[in-house]
Structure formats: C-alpha cells, structure tokens
C-alpha cells in the first residue's frame, strides 16, 4: 500500500523568475521496524520546488491528458527494482507476472495569491513487509510532473537493504 504525505508545503514571500519545470532533490529513505524486528514500512522522502506552483491534480482531473491509461494519469512516477548483483528486475504484483505500479497522484497543492512558488517535502510510504516487497535489496527512482506536463529531474536511490 502506498500513501503520499505532503509536509512543509509553503509559499515564498518573494517571487523569483525562473524555470517553471519542477525540481526535486535530496532523496532519503527510512525503514520502520515491526515489533518483531522485521522491516514493515519504507518511507522515501524528497524535496521539491516549483516556481509557478502548478503541482498536483484534483480528483476531477480525469480528462485528457490526465485520463486513465495516459502518461499523465499520475504525476508522481516511482519505479522500484529488485537488485541482485548488477541486475535490476521490476517488482511484480504478488502471485502474478504483472509489474507492480507504484505511480501515484499528488493532490493539488497550488497556493492562492500572487506568489505561487512552492517548496516542501513529499513522503512516500511503501509496505516493506515480507508479504509485499519480497526482495532483500531494492533501488528506486522518482520523478514528478506538474499540470503543464513539465517533468522534473529524476532521483535515484542508493541500494536499500530490507530485513524480512
């Protein structure tokens, strides 16, 4: 199960001109243990900044280009791979050969008012229990897109070791 928590969304007091392409940085990971001592929750956190503040989608954003099955149905693109030596293999849905989709929709966080620049931290929570993320070692990549269909840079994690 994947949930997104937005923390520290804020507007800057002074408007600066610059690129309207969102930028992401500082990918971090944290593992929460169960009472039995195994990994139960993986939290991936990253910082974002967007000069024109057009990050996020409304639940009603279901028409092209945000429709089901389109490239921009989601605006948070998360890929997770099982790592074995130098090989990276896509994580599959439990019991199937279908790749797991970790993409999500960031809710609309556009501020009101004249100054629209926003920045903050986004946390992504992944079930890391042995029943879900089976591999012992994973790597992730994250990218976001704004409503103008600008894609941010891509962040890649270090290897993340899980204990089941």
Q: What is the pLDDT of residues 108-148, one digit of tens each?
A: 998 888 888 999 999 999 988 766 656 789 999 999 999 99
DSSP state of 107: B
Q: What is the pLDDT of residues 85-102, one digit of tens each?
A: 888 888 877 677 777 888
Tell whether pTM > 0.85.
Answer: no
**What is the CATH code of the structural domain delimited by 2-12+19-161?**
2.60.40
* Helix/strand/coil for 3: strand
Over residues 21-30, the mean pLDDT reads 97
Average pLDDT of the chain to the nearest whole number: 85
Nearest to 84 by CA among 38, 29, 134: 134
Domain ranges of the chain: 2-12+19-161
Parallel/antiparallel/unpaired status of strands 137-144 and 155-156: antiparallel
Query: Where does the chain show beta strands of DSSP type E?
Result: 2-11, 23-33, 39-50, 76-84, 87-90, 118-127, 137-144, 155-156, 160-161
Residue 47 is predicted with a pLDDT of 98
Q: Is 140 within 8 Å of 157 (Cβ atoms)?
A: yes
């Amino acid at each position: 199960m994947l949930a997104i928590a937005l923390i520290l969304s804020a507007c800057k007091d002074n408007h600066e001109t610059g690129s309207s392409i969102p930028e992401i940085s500082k990918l971090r990971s944290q593992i929460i243990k169960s009472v039995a001592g195994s990994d139960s929750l993986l939290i991936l956190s990253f910082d974002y900044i967007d000069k024109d503040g057009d990050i996020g989608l409304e639940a009603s954003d279901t028409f092209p280009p945000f429709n089901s099955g389109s490239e921009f149905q989601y605006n948070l693109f998360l890929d997770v791979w099982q790592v074995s030596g130098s090989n990276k293999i896509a994580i599959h849905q439990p019991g199937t050969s279908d790749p797991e989709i970790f993409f999500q929709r960031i809710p609309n966080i556009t501020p009101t008012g004249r100054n629209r620049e926003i920045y903050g931290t986004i946390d992504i929570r992944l079930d890391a229990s042995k029943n879900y993320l089976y591999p012992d070692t994973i790597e992730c990549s994250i990218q976001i897109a704004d409503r103008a269909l600008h894609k941010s840079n891509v962040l890649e994690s270090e290897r993340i070791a899980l204990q089941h």
